[in-house]
Chain A
Amino acid sequence: MGMGNEGKTSGKGVGARLLRREDDRYLRGRGRFIADMRLPGMLEMAFVRSPLAHARIRGVTKPAEGGASVFTIDDLTGVKGISANSGLPGFRSSTQPVLAQGKVRHVGEPVAACLAENRALAEDLAELVEVDFEELPAVHDMTRARDADAPLLHEHWDENAFLESTVDIGFEDAARDAAVVIKRSFRTARQCMAPLEGRGLVAVWDRHLEMLTIHSATQMPHVVRTGIADCLGLDQGQVRIVAPDVGGGFGYKGILLAEEVVAGWLAMKLDRPIRWVEDRREHLTGNANCREHSYEITGYAGPDGELLAVDCQAIVDSGAYSIYPFSACLEAAQVASILPGPYRMRGFRCKTWAVTTNKPPILPYRGVARTGVCFAMELLLDAIARELGLPAEDIRRRNLVTADQMPFTNITNKYFDSGDYPQALERALEAIDIDGVRARQKGQSGVKRIGVGFSLFCEQGAHGTSVYHGWGIPMVPGFEQATARLTPDGGLELRVGVHSHGQGLETTLAQIAHEEIGIDPAKVKLVHGDTAYTPYSTGTWGSRCAVMAGGAVGTAAAALGDRIRRIAAHLLQARPEEVILTDGFAKVGSAAVSIEEVARTWYQKPQLLPNDVDPRGLEATEGYKTVRDTGTFSYACHAVVVSVDLQLGHVELLDYVIVEDAGTMINPMIVDGQVQGGLAQGIGTALFEEMQFDSSGQPLASTLADYHLPVASDIPRTRILHMETPSPISRFGQKGIGESGAIGPPAAIANAVNDALAPLGAEVNQIPLTPERVLRALAMGKAAAE
């Protein structure tokens, strides 16, 4: 593994708290996002979007004036719809037309594309398009989607479900011995991911190269390239996708967009650049597309709190279409495989349905199904603990997989690579001052009551081929590649196929290169997000970049290091294995030659090269795969103290502790940033964010005045404590951490609220925890007591 502890000694490698290199341009407002791009001759695109959730389209009338700049599906000759079918048995297939064809299936579905010199004019034009709709009854409640009288969204199906699946691992036998059986119903809300920057793209056709370039705010340029070429009938060599600066992804930009296909076709047809920038209203009304789950869950436990078995029926509201590449089955399949969390159990049964409804198609949001299953599992554990009179920590101590069991294969065959889950709990208990909190709780009688809650979970990151190929979806991650290239002036170019949109990869990957070959991270340039420049990658998703791109960069940099050593050894009259790369120099004892000199020698003074020089030069592309492709398992314990105002149902977060094990941290500040940012989103899920739909499928919020995102003043003082158990399967022991912060908060906060309310006989089981829900729970508790 290259240089070993270079980073520790130089303060710039793996483990260093380096300031983020990209922040200089972001903080000065010098990033370049889609909305900053203006190309000569560019037209802006606005969409006529469906105002109805479910309707047949009898006809579309273009305006007499400007109608030539309005395009419907009938105009888009030769364009295929988007198909993302799973190979799982029983999966019902569907195709999403890139503009509505005959029917609309959710509010906000694009019906026609309108082009004009600027966005305001394009919106003016869109207003003049008349669509003759025949409204159909809508499916708005996932629990009723499969009813016999429910209207069918996809009329060739026999029921409104993409997939139904069942897992049963020794359930009956394990449940038989239970001393307590606790049943609960849990619901999570449909959310908008709300990145600061919405989606956006500029499509450009190059007649000379016969190439379509789409600049797109995407997390996965290479996957989008494949999808675009497929839909437009182009060779993949004719398609280039470029992701510029991207203002947050979170899964929202891990998708092939209908808008990309439409813009690509129009750019080719009209030979003019076409831009579309999603606005907040489009985002809110047409893209509330994540998190909505329903659980009927039963826990079976022994008298001491041993978890014997869990039985669950879960529904995921997957919306109207199956999205590319993840498909409509990802989230429900995850529910069935990760519900057991970090706990041991003897039996497990889980039936899931990915149902289709007249809502935007579901996308995997940061944490994907984990936020929901963590909520369900952790609330169930607390309910069992309350029934048995156990403190919340005891039931977790009793059931957590322990350090001496690692590596551990759990009941659903997940391979936990390393860690000490109980220690995370104990550290959180200490940091939150559990004894102090419990003492303050004694004899509480006022309007405000405090409660303490916990959640524990593990996060599978960088999962690979063996996890994905079984689903038969359009994308299966394999090897990850990177190119490391020394420039003639001794700088280092890294080329990776993932994309950084807030993760700090321009910094962390430079640190990894430094770790391997001692080059100053300030001299490292990351080239990413462009299919023309970078090796193929499935992109940035699933907490995979630190492990996969990091591993690939480490491997490529090490290969480059060998070539540098060979040249340096010749210049220093030494053997290559004697050369140490450190601090920008190749050194043998007290003799040294700079990396710049090595580069100059290769590129400009080849007469000085040794006869046995590696002719491939100072550029290495290497591939990487983890030791096992079952994923790294980071994990965390969240602990929170809340105050609940019994008169208002208002929940205030008083203290928050996260104990996180990211394995080896490449840059602890970036890990903290990831956890802190995720926490803010998790608090939104727990307390505020909810897109409600009425019975006709209309979204009930269209601005941020109605859809409540967490703001700075909602985020409590938070302490993030780290454990660093190296992963045995990754290059530096690092684990994927990107989603963790968003997973734990709803469970921990709801458990804390329930802890506060328990003496009053009240319990909340649905998020977000609005005042109305808390007050209703209190009223039900009061009624039950009377």
Chain B
Amino acid sequence: MKPAAFDYLAGAALADAKSALAAGAKPMAGNQSLGPMLNLRLARPGRLVDIAMLPELRAVTETATGLRLGAAITHAEIEDGEVPDPTGGWLREAAAGIAYRAVRNRGTLGGSLAHADPAADWVIVMTGLEAMAIIDGPSGRREVAMADFITGPFATVLGDGDLLVAIEVPKPGVDARWGYWKFCRQIGEFAKASATVLVDPAKNVNRCVLGALGRQPLVLEESQAVIEGRLSPRDAVTQALPGRSPEALALHATALERALAQANGE
């Protein structure tokens, strides 16, 4: 379980990193997902460019509508409140539930999203919060809604030479309510089922998202009906996920029920 040989480029400026990426290098930040894949030789990049300390990716900036978090901000920095939390605590709580502390110390927000593990926390949480991915690519910068950023299991819109540089998290309205619930059998494991519920009356947002589906997160079309109690979470999940086993449906429905209960302050 030793990686195949690769070149390692560190300490470069963003421009250098981008030219390395354009030449086929793979970016590496906290190395919590890529590292094991390298060791298992499932990933065999010829060249790695370390982006963990790039100032642009470590920056935190407030915008008119929210907060822009550099992609190399670690889970632990969010958990510990070392960076502002525009949601008033939802991000901190989600961060604190990621894997375990050793992973959170090194793992990054952007790395987790770019890796796009279907069961990962940020993948569903950022989709649930309607965050935006800020991508710096060969043809300049672009912003992509998180629901569109992740296109499948371990798949994103990131193309050759693209780098996820920041995530913009919108600041919710004053009456906004939030629920995030995931089912992990063991502390530190990936979720078997997860769900978020965002109710933001000021912005007219009613959003239910299911995660840990083995695909990208699913934004429920019937979110508003579920939130308003016109459609049971169980029925909503059953309709939205045809072909799943009864046991899997039970777990996803329970996750949604419990996220909804949280959002409702129950």
Contact = CB atoms under 8 A, between A and B. Distances in A.
Interface in B173-209: 183, 185-190, 192
A281 B1 contact: yes
Given A647-B254, A775-B250, A279 B1 contact: yes
B186 A708 contact: yes
A183 B250 CA distance: 30
Interface string B1-23: 11111000000000000000000
Contacts of B3: 120
B187 A711 contact: yes
Contacts of A702: 40
Nearest to B100: A711
How many of chain B's residues touch chain A, expressed as a range? 20 to 34
Interface in B38-61: 40-41
A444 interface: no
Contacts of A705: 36, 189-190
B242 interface: no
Contact of B247 (A118, A281, A687, A772): A772
Interface string B231-258: 0000000000000011110110010010
B247 A775 contact: yes
Interface string A267-279: 0000000000001
Interface in A685-734: 687-688, 702-703, 705, 708, 710-711, 713-714
Nearest to A118: B2
Contacts of B187: 711, 713
Contact of A714 (B186, B247, B251): B186
A351 interface: no
Interface in B149-194: 183, 185-190, 192
Given A711-B187, A771-B192, A648 B251 contact: yes
A198 to B, nearest CB: 11
With most chain B CB atoms within 10 A of its CB, the pick from A119, A705, A776 is A705
Contacts of A650: 183, 185
A694 B259 CA distance: 35
A648 B2 contact: no
A22 interface: no
A649 B5 contact: no
Given A650-B183, A771-B247, A708 B189 contact: yes
Contacts of A430: none
A648 B250 CA distance: 7
With most chain B CB atoms within 10 A of its CB, the pick from A282, A703, A710 is A703
Nearest to A119: B2
A522 interface: no
A645 B254 CA distance: 11
Contact of B251 (A120, A123, A771): A771
Contacts of A714: 186
A281 B190 contact: no
A591 interface: no
A281 B183 contact: no
Contacts of A710: 186
Contacts of B5: 120, 124
B190 A708 contact: no
Contact of A711 (B186, B245, B246, B254): B186
A477 to B, nearest CB: 37
B53 to A, nearest CB: 26
Interface string A319-343: 0000000000000000000000000
Interface in A118-145: 118-120, 123-124, 127
Interface string A390-417: 0000000000000000000000000000
A712 to B, nearest CB: 8
Interface string A746-786: 00000000000000000000000001100110010000000
Contacts of A688: 185-186
Contact of B1 (A280, A648, A687): A280
A695 to B, nearest CB: 19
Main secondary structure of the interface of B (DSSP, over half): loop
A688 B254 CA distance: 21
Contacts of B185: 650, 687-688, 708, 771
Nearest to B245: A772
Nearest to A651: B185
A124 B6 CA distance: 12
A486 B124 CA distance: 68
Contacts of B40: 281, 702-703
A79 B250 CA distance: 56
A713 B186 contact: yes
A775 B246 contact: yes
With most chain A CB atoms within 10 A of its CB, the pick from B1, B36, B251 is B1
Nearest to B250: A775
Contacts of A281: 1, 40
Contacts of A779: 246-247
A647 B3 CA distance: 42
A776 B2 contact: no
Contact of B183 (A120, A648, A708, A711): A648
Contacts of B245: 772
Contact of A123 (B2, B186, B246, B247): B2
Contacts of B248: 772
A710 B5 CA distance: 34
B183 to A, nearest CB: 6
A282 B40 CA distance: 11
A282 B250 CA distance: 35
Contacts of A703: 36, 40
Contacts of A120: 2-5
Nearest to A278: B1
Contacts of B188: 711
Contacts of A282: 1
Interface in A665-689: 687-688
A687 B186 CA distance: 10
Contact of B4 (A124, A647, A649, A772): A124
A484 to B, nearest CB: 44
A775 B247 CA distance: 6
Nearest to B2: A120
A648 B186 contact: no
A708 B192 CA distance: 13
A509 to B, nearest CB: 37
Contact of A648 (B36, B41, B189, B254): B254
Nearest to B117: A705
A714 B188 CA distance: 11
Nearest to B184: A650
A92 to B, nearest CB: 36
Contacts of A118: 2
Contacts of B192: 771
Contacts of B41: 123, 127
A648 B258 CA distance: 11
Interface string A260-292: 000000000000000000011110000000000
A767 to B, nearest CB: 14
A775 B5 CA distance: 46
A447 to B, nearest CB: 9
Nearest to A774: B247
B6 to A, nearest CB: 11
Nearest to B4: A124
A647 B250 contact: yes
Given A118-B2, A647-B257, 9 more contacts: A120-B5, A123-B41, A647-B250, A648-B250, A649-B250, A708-B186, A708-B189, A714-B186, A775-B246
Interface of A: 118-120, 123-124, 127, 279-282, 647-650, 687-688, 702-703, 705, 708, 710-711, 713-714, 771-772, 775-776, 779
In the A-B complex, the 3 residue pairs with the closest CB atoms: A120-B2, A279-B1, A647-B254
27 contacts: A118-B2, A120-B2, A120-B5, A123-B1, A123-B2, A124-B4, A281-B40, A282-B1, A647-B254, A648-B251, A648-B254, A649-B247, A649-B250, A650-B185, A687-B185, A688-B186, A702-B40, A703-B36, A705-B36, A708-B186, A710-B186, A714-B186, A771-B183, A771-B251, A775-B246, A775-B247, A776-B247
